[in-house]
Structure 1
Amino acid sequence: MGTKPAAAPEAPRDCPLCPRLVAYREAVRAKEPSWFNGAVPSFGKDDAQLLIVGLAPGVTGANRTGRPFTGDWAGDLLYATLDKFGFSKGKFAADPNDGLVLTGAMITNAVRCVPPENKPVGAEINQCRPFLEARIAALPKLKVILCLGKISHDSTLRALGLKVAAHPFGHGTKYEVEANGKPVTLLSSYHCSRYNTNTGRLTPEMFETVFAEARRILN
């Protein structure tokens, strides 16, 4: 039996690996053929020192626009925070053609295709992890990984070959780990979803505290 080829950092747009996600993607495409409706690529350049790992594309957000966290409430908070801490240039207009550029940062997702009800199942998270592993491996200047939510946190740990039980998730958790043979800091935050912000589980101030720590480490 041959060795399984290494995954690329980005999934093909019409990735066939997860039957449930393919079926959902096709159902949305039938209703909204002008939307992106595919595996959403990472946003940013390969010289990024900060990698932000979200959960998965939102159906009317990144699945519609083709850029992570673009077109929904979670993105409004994320991109405003990135701007505040000097990780972007230009004006965010919730449109992939807005000309916004990330500086020293990249945004990706643990699962690249939109899941029904924003809830990927374990097999789908596992199936997509080789893309996350490859994405991390393709960032030679990486110093900080910032995970948004527990699924992102856990999948990133597994991508790094680490035990989840030894690195429990929490808002503001910080672990010194290794990626690409170099020390990297793993930070985590509650996900910047509308649900979390509406319920007060995550406030803009709480979110900014995590990004402030990322900026402090990089400086």
Structure 2
Amino acid sequence: MARDADGYPVTRTPAGVVRGARSARDLAAVDERVCGCRACPRLVAWREEVAEVKRAAFRDQVYWGRPIPGMGPADARIAVVGLAPAAHGGNRTGRIFTGDRSGDWIFAALWRAGLANQPTSVSRDDGLEVHDVRIVSAVRCAPPDNAPTPAERDTCSPWLARELQLLPRLRVAVVLGGFGWSALLPVLAAAGYVLPRPRPRFGHGVEVELVGPDGPLTLLGSYHVSQQNTFTGRLTEPMLDAVLQRAVALAAG
């Protein structure tokens, strides 16, 4: 596998994503291959343009400008599945949900739930650690207008599938928003989980228990921690806390 100037293995096609994901032996390998992915031309062009033009407030910073890997240990019993990185958040800092208002919300909530060692996430070297939770996104590159296409979602899905396969203790998936929900269900179906018919619809507080090849998995729906939801009060801190507290209780049980 060819490597780019920074040493990351380069993947240029959807078929290459499938091969690269399937052959990744551990989460570190998945993370490394995600960072070198160039399989979606529109997303590559956008993330790199943003990294070059920058926002005025960050004009002195070097943007990451790559896909964003997941965060969290391999023994996690809880997964948090988001939509995609923010153009001036993860795409700038190089860490998922880091450097933007959405990250302020999710990491503060994880801290209150006992899943993070601090409530803030501003940079990759800020000392943040999470435990018993793996944080991932359905699409790994920042998309224009925060809106990946279905094709981009599907191209990225093997990374998500392999990441979940490499979490042997996984028991709960907290899904932030309808896009992540629609991306996760086919991944789980392909992995052998039995989905109800009709397929469960997304909603805040929705709870669905699935049976899979490695045991049960409970899906918990939550409105996304986007500013559109948090600024308007559609999602409040107590609402988000309740979902994460339920996740912790299910994982412990």
Q: Structure 1 length as normaliser, TM-score?
A: 0.93
CA distance in 1, matches of 2:118, 2:239: 24
C-alpha displacement at 1:6, in angstroms? 5.5
- Given that 1:140 and 1:180 are in contact with CA atoms closer than 8 Å, whether structure 2 keeps it comes out as no
- Given that 2:34 and 2:140 are in contact with CA atoms closer than 8 Å, whether structure 1 keeps it comes out as no
Structure number with higher strand proportion: 1
CA distance in 2, matches of 1:91, 1:77: 9
SS of alignment partner, residue 102 of structure 1: coil
Question: Which residue of the other structure, out of 201, 226, 231, is the alignment partner of 1:193?
Answer: 226
Structure number with higher helix proportion: 2
Question: Which residue of the other structure, out of 28, 32, 57, is the alignment partner of 2:85?
Answer: 57
Equivalent residues in 2 for 1:1-219, closer than 5 Å:
5=19, 7=21, 8=24, 9-10=30-31, 11-32=33-54, 34-90=62-118, 92-161=120-189, 162=195, 165-179=198-212, 181-219=214-252
- Given that 2:117 and 2:128 are in contact with CA atoms closer than 8 Å, whether structure 1 keeps it comes out as yes
- Aligned-pair Cα RMSD in Å: 2.0
Letter of the structure 2 residue corresponding to residue 62 of structure 1: G
Letter of the structure 1 residue corresponding to residue 110 of structure 2: L
Aligned to 2:5: none
- Given that 2:118 and 2:129 are in contact with CA atoms closer than 8 Å, whether structure 1 keeps it comes out as yes
- Given that 2:108 and 2:118 are in contact with CA atoms closer than 8 Å, whether structure 1 keeps it comes out as no
C-alpha displacement at 1:182, in angstroms? 1.5
CA distance in 1, matches of 2:73, 2:213: 17
C-alpha displacement at 1:198, in angstroms? 1.2
Say which structure, 1 or 2, has more relative contact order (CA 8 Å, 6+ apart): 1
Q: Structure 2 length as normaliser, TM-score?
A: 0.81
Taking a change above 3 Å as real, the CA distance of residues 210 and 59 of structure 1, as seen in their structure-2 partners, is same
Pick which of 127-136 and 90-99 moved more: 90-99
CA distance in 2, matches of 1:38, 1:153: 24
Structure 1 or 2, whichever has the larger Rg, is: 2
- Deviating runs (4+, > 4 A) in structure 1? 162-165
CA distance in 1, matches of 2:79, 2:212: 12
Taking a change above 3 Å as real, the CA distance of residues 178 and 133 of structure 1, as seen in their structure-2 partners, is farther
Percent identical pairs in the alignment equals 39
CA distance in 1, matches of 2:100, 2:198: 32
- Given that 2:107 and 2:121 are in contact with CA atoms closer than 8 Å, whether structure 1 keeps it comes out as no
SS of alignment partner, residue 145 of structure 1: strand
Q: Give structure 2 stretches of 5+ with no counterpart.
A: 1-14, 25-29, 55-60, 190-194
Letter of the structure 2 residue corresponding to residue 157 of structure 1: L
